Amino acid sequence: MTDSTSDDPRAPDHPEIRAAVRALCAKFPGEYWRAHDRERAYPEDFVRALTEAGYLAALIPEAYGGSGLPLSAAAAILEEIHKSGGNAAACHAQMYTMGTILRHGSEAQKRRWLPGIAAGNLRLQAFGVTEPGSGSDTLGLATTAKRQGDRYLVQGQKVWTSRAEHSDLMLLLARTTPKEEVRKKGEGLSVFVVDLKAATGGENPPVTIRPIRTMINHATTEVFIDGLEVPVADRIGEEGQGFRYILDGMNAERILIAAECLGDARWFIETARKYATERQVFGRPIGQNQGVQFPIARAFAQTEAAELMVRRAAALFQAGVSCGPEANMAKLLAADASWAAAEACLQTHGGYGFAEEFDVERKFRETRLYQIAPISTNLILAYLAEHVLDLPRSY
Ligand SMILES: Cc1cc2nc3c(=O)[nH]c(=O)nc-3n(C[C@H](O)[C@H](O)[C@H](O)COP(=O)(O)OP(=O)(O)OC[C@H]3O[C@@H](n4cnc5c(N)ncnc54)[C@H](O)[C@@H]3O)c2cc1C
């Protein structure tokens, strides 16, 4: 993969990677995404093309078969996919879930899984954190993993586990010490790598996956776990420290999702701009009316500002500096910008915004997710209020 920087300070970073991703995405036009959306089908060909081109291994170090690129390169890849009208949600998680193995796994674990993920033979796309009783309140999760000799016996249920049907492995967060017995409230949870294919195969498998039909094509599921045995060797890091490891990965997740929002915003702005220029009403382009121009211009300004925060958060992350506030603000601002752009684009299209063939309604539904997942807007605001502004904890 060729990578360089431009002398123009306004030019987007990673220009070669961006151009190559755009060329790949051109093979997957609106019709492709529309057809998959209609059927709620997994975009297998797109994920394979992305994998074969090495993009999903961008962040895996060269020593384990990846490209060893910085987070900003992964952000550029995801942004361009969304900017081209596609959706990286079918596979984006692998970019940040593998970071948990990379940062906290043993050398043996890294050698066992990362080269396979980098080569595309193994998919680590499922991330089992949320449960029916714990979404925002992760520490309230009820799935347990009880140690029995050299194994853990796992019992519980996950929900919204996206891509579980299309993944070989799942990163699972489960409680190994009851909440009442931990010294600090963030302790007592552990992270495991679960071999999903083995766990769901054969007669009476310990793991059952049930798809959830949603307003977007997201391959999300419920995962029922009953008597799953996980070898101790498949636990990442220390027992009881899993929440900390997951939090470490969440900054990367927030920055990458923010990059997708930027891509969505750019798609909406360009689509709205083009339509506003072409559509004639009362004998002149609708874009000549300030009532049509201004929401698009405002969304553009919001997107430019959000991009600065995404870049800053990525730069801090790459420098190994703690970046919780910036990663959260990047996600908040970029999700708000993409939602403002979505609203402006739909409104600009009038009735045609509702027609499937324009792709606006699909992208509108897709970008709405980012006000809620992977973390809701309210929870980001609560984090900033408490941890940055030193206001009293609200929950
Ligand atoms: C399509 C989709 C895909 C997903 N994929 C995954 C995945 O792959 N893996 C995974 O683990 N999870 C996944 N999630 C789950 C996602 O992370 C959660 O939906 C999210 O964290 C919110 O949790 P919740 O839905 O339980 O909402 P709740 O926690 O029940 O919150 C409901 C609402 O109340 C608000 N709220 C709650 N508490 C407060 C408070 N104290 N102050 C102010 N407002 C509050 C929230 O902001 C939210 O708007 C996915 C969700 C969706 C919809």
Per-residue model confidence as pLDDT tens digits over 78-105 = 999 999 999 999 999 989 999 999 999 9
Q: Would you state the pLDDT for residue 2?
A: 74
Report d(CA 228, CA 224) in Å as an integer: 10
Q: Measured from the CA of 375, which atom of ligand 1 is nearest?
A: 21
Domain 15-119 classification at class level: mainly alpha
Q: Binning pLDDT at 50, 70 and 90, where does residue 7 land?
A: confident
- Does residue 6 surpass a pLDDT of 80? no
Q: What is the mean pLDDT of residues 309-333?
A: 97
Q: Is 312 exposed, middle or buried (0-12, 13-18, 19+ CB in 10 A)?
A: middle
| In the chain, where the domains are located | 15-119, 126-239, 244-388
129 CB near ligand 1 (under 6 Å): yes
Report d(CA 28, CA 213) in Å as an integer: 23
- Residue nearest to ligand 1 atom 4, measured at CA: 160
135 CB near ligand 1 (under 6 Å): yes
- Report the separation in Å between the CA atom of 308 and the middle of ligand 1, taken as the mean of its atom positions: 26
Q: Is the dihedral of CA 280, 283, 287, 292 positive or negative?
A: negative
- Residue nearest to ligand 1 atom 25, measured at CA: 135
- Report the separation in Å between the CA atom of 374 and the middle of ligand 1, taken as the mean of its atom positions: 7
- Residue nearest to ligand 1 atom 48, measured at CA: 376
Contact call for residues 161 and 210 (beta carbons, < 8 A): no
> CATH number of the domain at 126-239, please?
2.40.110.10
Q: Binning pLDDT at 50, 70 and 90, where does residue 1 land?
A: confident
Q: Measured from the CA of 394, which atom of ligand 1 is nearest?
A: 41
For the whole prediction, is pTM greater than 0.95?
A: yes
Superfamily for the 244-388 domain: Butyryl-CoA Dehydrogenase, subunit A, domain 3 (1.20.140.10)
Q: Is 90 exposed, middle or buried (0-12, 13-18, 19+ CB in 10 A)?
A: buried
Q: How many angstroms separate the Cα of 140 from the Cα of each of 32, 243, 390?
A: 40, 11, 24
pLDDT digits (tens, 9 = 90+) for 113-161: 999 999 999 999 999 999 999 999 999 999 999 999 999 999 999 999 9
